[in-house]
Amino acid sequence: MDRFDAHILRELQKDSHIAVADLAERIGLSTSACHRRVKLLESSGMIDGYSARVNPKALGLDLEVFVDITLTSQSQEAMDAFEKAVQLYDEILECVLTTGTADYILRIVARDVAHYDMIHRRCLARLPGVSGMQTSFALRSIKSWRGYPVPG
């Protein structure tokens, strides 16, 4: 990856809807060279896809919740069962396997505390192999993720 590829990635993370001609102008390449580079970044897997960033507050999802999960066992079977079950619930936005006191951390959004209570009862309480949950409510977001840092 050279400086042009890095610039392409930075620009596409800011605005993935940008026209190739505009992108080429911003980074100082011809349209055809820029298009070729974008296609190579896509085919190599460097660009994994495109999507719209949706404002959760505009959807009425005002509560962001992080849940530390501890399993009864860290066996491969227990972890596989938990990870498979997490996939079934759209309310669970992210799930990461971690080191430290929790085995996993979940990120969830809800309309309010009552909605989170419903998610807890209908989703979280049904996850297999859970021995403990620690819930933290976000008070406010200081910095939101807007893309990966690209070297170059």
- The tens digit of pLDDT for each residue in 68-115 reads 999 999 999 999 999 999 999 999 999 999 999 999 999 999 999 999
The pLDDT of residue 52: 87
Q: Which candidate, 2, 49, 75, places its Cα nearest to that of 83?
A: 75
pLDDT one-digit tens code per residue, 12-53: 999 999 999 999 999 999 999 999 999 999 999 999 999 888
Distances from the Cα of 21 to the Cαs of 17, 32, 34, 152, in angstroms?
Answer: 12, 9, 8, 22
The pLDDT of residue 72: 97
104-110, strands of its sheet edge to edge: 92-97, 104-110, 63-71, 130-137
Judge whether 3-43 and 56-137 match in fold: no
Pairwise CA distance, residues 90 & 147, whole Å: 22
The pLDDT of residue 80: 98
Contact 129, 70 (CB under 8 A): no
The pLDDT of residue 152: 76
In which band, very low, low, confident or very high, does the pLDDT at 151 lie, cut at 50, 70 and 90?
confident
Choosing among 1.10.260.40, 3.40.720.10, 3.40.50.10420, 1.10.10.10, the CATH entry for 3-43 is 1.10.10.10
- Architecture field, domain 56-137: 2-Layer Sandwich (3.30)
At 33, is the secondary structure helix, strand, or coil?
Answer: helix
Where in the chain are the domains? 3-43, 56-137
